[in-house]
């Protein structure tokens, strides 16, 4: 049933059996899932994929699961929206939003990677699942664990948005906040994973977990009518999704499932946590960790595990990357909400803000096809924009009070015309 | 009193399975040399052929990434905690 052959070190090529293992014993490099692509090519067609339910398992031949998936049955296949009003403001006709603000069940792209990781945890026979998280992963793991009947421990840095703590605890997960930033939590969890033998979705199940991120790319290609975009802009935190979107596009191309055409991929980081962009701009592949400081908490990672692979994917594609300040991030969140009715979290604001810069720099030209990746929902991060929006007016429940306010707001003329 | 060093799974075959070992030295570099003496093979896993910390290895001195301190020259004193942790983890 499975097309997986083994795990392989991305650095030294050493091979390992399909086990809960993420680091090469020889060089500490990351392990990645290998597939029998010849067999997949013989079996997988556009038609076969299109005949399946609208969830991420429609690409199951390219995902590392053995048995019939029991979680994530409503995850993935989120809208790819032709953003015409936003596009008109920016002067780009073919601007698309890949909208994971409505991913099921927890409203972020993490539902994809977690659906795969939890399926794998079940296959491996784990009873407890866990993760180190800035919040979105936490809610996704907690929800999927509840659905699968697994025990769940969640580790988050102190200071994440309240909604993300409530949104994890509600599913019955044991939530522990750590005095420190995400990188501190990650280090602790690496040690806990080692000692307690739990399934940490983003540590010892990481090779499987990260494969789930490819579905974001598969869907973009399928929803564009089995073609690749000219440009795709992706946020970068730990560096999982960007290289996997590039890998997804490459797999589809190699399997002959999409019409050719080269794509360029771009990384977006918040200026307060931009170690990958600094390295990109300096022309080095050495990523110097930073201490994160940004309102974009879901992407506030100073020491990204896959930063090196983000650089490589960006450079290989001929793409680029930029960073956005907190103020630019908030403006972009408001712009997207106002023009397209999509409320993104700060990671999404970062991605759109960076897209504006890439357009201004003419790296992306106005007649080309651009996909902006919106990976998380703004309802989880109300704190980030609360101070930047207009306060509501407060009046008594009397019509004349409203008439006066309406006048004051400069709408008097319009009102009279309408009434006449 | 020597320094306590936490050893991750991929390195435990050098420490007879121990998850924590002792080492002596006044800097991180010296600690790694001492680890090599006590558990031959470890240095090559931690440092590349130029003697720099490998890309996918993080070392924490009392919880701080040594890249924020003085890297391999970071000063170490008796009773400190050193953690060796694979860099490949995470994803928010």
The residue among A389 and A416 whose pLDDT is bigger is: A389
Q: Give yes or no for A299 touching B (CB within 8 A).
A: yes
Which residue of chain B is at minimal alpha-carbon distance from A141?
A: B92
**Residue A408: φ, ψ to 5°:** -60, -35
Average pLDDT of span A334-352: 98
What residues in A contact B89, CB-CB < 8 Å?
Answer: 22, 132, 186, 189-190, 200, 202-203, 206, 305
Q: Nearest CB to B83: which of A183, A191, A209?
A: A191
Whether B5 has a pLDDT exceeding 50, the answer reads yes
CATH 3.40.50.1100 residue ranges for chain A = 4-73+110-209, 80-104+213-386
CATH of the domain at B47: 3.10.20.30
Which A positions 186-205 lie with beta carbon below 8 A of chain B? 186-187, 189-191, 194-195, 200, 202-203
pLDDT (tens digit, 9 = 90+) per residue, A90-113?
A: 999 999 999 999 999 999 999 999
Q: Nearest CB to A28: which of B56, B60, B91?
A: B56
Average pLDDT of span A127-146: 94
pLDDT at A420: 41
pLDDT (tens digit, 9 = 90+) per residue, A206-226?
A: 999 999 999 999 999 999 999
pLDDT at A297: 87
pLDDT (tens digit, 9 = 90+) per residue, A42-87?
A: 999 999 999 999 999 999 999 999 989 999 999 999 999 999 999 9
pLDDT at B86: 86
pLDDT (tens digit, 9 = 90+) per residue, A153-201?
A: 999 999 888 888 999 999 999 999 999 888 888 888 988 988 898 999 9
What domain count does chain B have? 1
Q: Give yes or no for B60 touching A (CB within 8 A).
A: yes
Looking at the complex, report in whole angstroms how far the Cα of residue A277 sits from the nearest Cα belonging to chain B: 17
Q: Give yes or no for B90 touching A (CB within 8 A).
A: yes
Contact B85 A203 (CB under 8 A): no
% pLDDT > 90, chain B = 70
Whether A412 has a pLDDT exceeding 90, the answer reads no
Which residue of chain B is at minimal alpha-carbon distance from A297?
A: B92
What residues in B contact A199, CB-CB < 8 Å?
Answer: none
Domain span at residue B27? 3-86
Does B46 fall in a domain? yes
C-alpha to C-alpha distances, A143 to A107, A110, A176, nearest whole angstrom: 11, 11, 16
What is the SS3 assignment for A286? coil
Helices (H) and strands (E) in chain B, counts: 2, 5
DSSP code for A145 = H
The mean pLDDT of chain B is: 91
**Residue A82: φ, ψ to 5°:** -75, 105
Does B81 fall in a domain? yes
Q: Give yes or no for B44 touching A (CB within 8 A).
A: no
pLDDT class of A418 with cuts at 50, 70, 90 = very low
Whether A419 has a pLDDT exceeding 60, the answer reads no
Does B43 fall in a domain? yes
Q: Give yes or no for A183 touching B (CB within 8 A).
A: yes
% pLDDT > 70, chain B = 96
Tokens of B9: 């799974």
Spatial contact of A350 and A240, defined as CB atoms under 8 Å apart: no
Contact B92 A25 (CB under 8 A): no
Domain A4-73+110-209 has CATH 3.40.50.1100: yes
Looking at the complex, report in whole angstroms how far the Cα of residue B76 sits from the nearest Cα belonging to chain A: 20
Q: Quote the distance between the C-alpha of residue A48 and its chain's center.
A: 26
Q: Which residue in B59, B65, B90 has the most chain A C-beta atoms within 10 A of its own C-beta, making it the best mutation to test that interface? A: B90
Does B92 fall in a domain? no
What residues in B contact A24, CB-CB < 8 Å?
Answer: 10
Which residue of chain B is at minimal alpha-carbon distance from A241?
A: B91
Contact A301 B92 (CB under 8 A): yes
C-alpha to C-alpha distances, A296 to A143, A275, A361, B41, nearest whole angstrom: 23, 14, 24, 42
pLDDT (tens digit, 9 = 90+) per residue, A284-319?
A: 998 999 999 999 988 989 989 899 999 999 999 999
pLDDT at A130: 97
**Can you name the CATH fold of A80-104+213-386?**
Rossmann fold (3.40.50)
Looking at the complex, report in whole angstroms how far the Cα of residue A194 sits from the nearest Cα belonging to chain B: 7
Which A positions 216-245 lie with beta carbon below 8 A of chain B? 237-240
pLDDT at A248: 98
The mean pLDDT of chain A is: 94
Q: Give yes or no for A350 touching B (CB within 8 A).
A: no
Contact A238 B45 (CB under 8 A): no
pLDDT at B91: 67
pLDDT at A413: 57
Q: Please state, in angstroms and rounded to a whole number, the distance separating the CA atoms of residues A233 and A351.
A: 7
Give the list of residues 6+ apart from residue A177 with CB closer than 8 angstroms, or none.
Answer: A155, A156, A157, A158, A160, A165
What residues in B contact A194, CB-CB < 8 Å?
Answer: 8-9, 19
% pLDDT > 70, chain A = 98
pLDDT at A417: 46
How much is the CA Rg of chain A, to the nearest whole Å?
A: 22
Q: Please state, in angstroms and rounded to a whole number, the distance separating the CA atoms of residues B33 and B39.
A: 10
What residues in A contact B6, CB-CB < 8 Å?
Answer: 191
Contact B92 A238 (CB under 8 A): yes
Strands (DSSP E) found in chain B: 3-6, 20-23, 57-61, 64-65, 81-86
Which A positions 63-122 lie with beta carbon below 8 A of chain B? 110, 113
Residues facing A348 on adjacent strands: none
Contact B9 A240 (CB under 8 A): no
């Amino acid at each position: 049933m499975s097309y997986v052959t083994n795990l392989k070190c991305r650095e030294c090529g050493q091979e390992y059996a399909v086990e809960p293992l993420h680091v090469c014993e020889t060089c500490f490099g990351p392990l990645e899932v290998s597939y029998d692509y010849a067999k997949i090519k013989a079996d997988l067609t556009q038609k076969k994929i299109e005949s399946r339910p609208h969830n991420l398992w429609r690409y199951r031949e390219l995902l590392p699961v053995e048995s019939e998936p029991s979680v994530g049955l409503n995850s993935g296949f989120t809208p790819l929206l032709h953003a015409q009003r936003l596009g008109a403001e920016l002067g780009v006709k073919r601007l698309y939003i890949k909208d994971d603000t409505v991913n099921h069940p927890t409203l972020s792209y993490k539902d994809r990677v977690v659906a795969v990781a939890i399926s794998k945890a079940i296959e491996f026979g784990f009873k407890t699942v866990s993760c180190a998280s800035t919040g979105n992963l936490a809610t996704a793991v907690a929800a999927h664990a509840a659905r699968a009947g697994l025990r769940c421990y969640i580790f988050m840095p102190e200071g994440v948005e309240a909604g993300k703590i409530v949104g994890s605890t509600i599913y019955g997960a044991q939530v522990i906040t750590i005095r420190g930033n995400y990188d501190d939590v990650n280090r602790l969890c690496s040690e806990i994973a080692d000692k307690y033998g739990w399934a940490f979705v983003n540590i010892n199940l990481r090779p499987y977990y990260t494969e789930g991120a490819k579905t974001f790319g598969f869907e973009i290609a399928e929803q564009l009518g089995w073609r690749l975009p000219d440009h795709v802009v992706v946020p970068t935190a730990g560096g999982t999704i960007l290289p996997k979107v590039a890998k997804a596009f490459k797999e589809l191309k190699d399997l002959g499932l999409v019409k050719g055409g080269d794509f360029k991929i771009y990384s977006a980081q918040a200026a307060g946590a931009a170690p990958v962009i600094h390295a990109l701009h300096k022309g080095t592949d050495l990523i110097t960790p930073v201490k994160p400081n940004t309102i974009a908490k879901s992407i506030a990672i100073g020491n990204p595990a896959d930063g090196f692979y983000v650089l490589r994917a960006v450079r290989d594609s001929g793409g680029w990357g930029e960073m956005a300040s907190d103020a630019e991030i908030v403006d972009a969140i408001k712009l997207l909400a106002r023009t397209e009715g999509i409320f993104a979290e700060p990671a999404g604001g970062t991605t759109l803000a960076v897209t504006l810069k890439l357009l201004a720099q003419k790296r992306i030209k106005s007649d080309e096809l651009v996909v902006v990746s919106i990976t998380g929902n703004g309802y989880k991060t109300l704190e980030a924009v609360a101070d930047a929006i207009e306060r509501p007016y407060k009046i008594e429940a009397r019509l004349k009070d409203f008439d006066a306010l309406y006048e004051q707001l400069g709408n008097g003329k319009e009102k009279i015309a309408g009434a006449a | 009193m020597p320094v306590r060093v936490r050893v991750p799974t991929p390195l435990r075959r050098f420490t007879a399975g121990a998850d924590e070992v002792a080492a002596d030295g006044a800097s991180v570099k010296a600690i790694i040399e001492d680890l090599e003496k006590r558990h031959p093979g470890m240095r090559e896993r931690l440092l590349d052929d130029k003697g720099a910390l490998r890309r996918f290895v993080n070392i924490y001195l009392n919880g701080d990434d040594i890249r924020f301190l003085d890297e391999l020259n970071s000063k170490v004193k008796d009773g400190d905690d050193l953690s060796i942790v694979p860099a490949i983890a995470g994803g928010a």
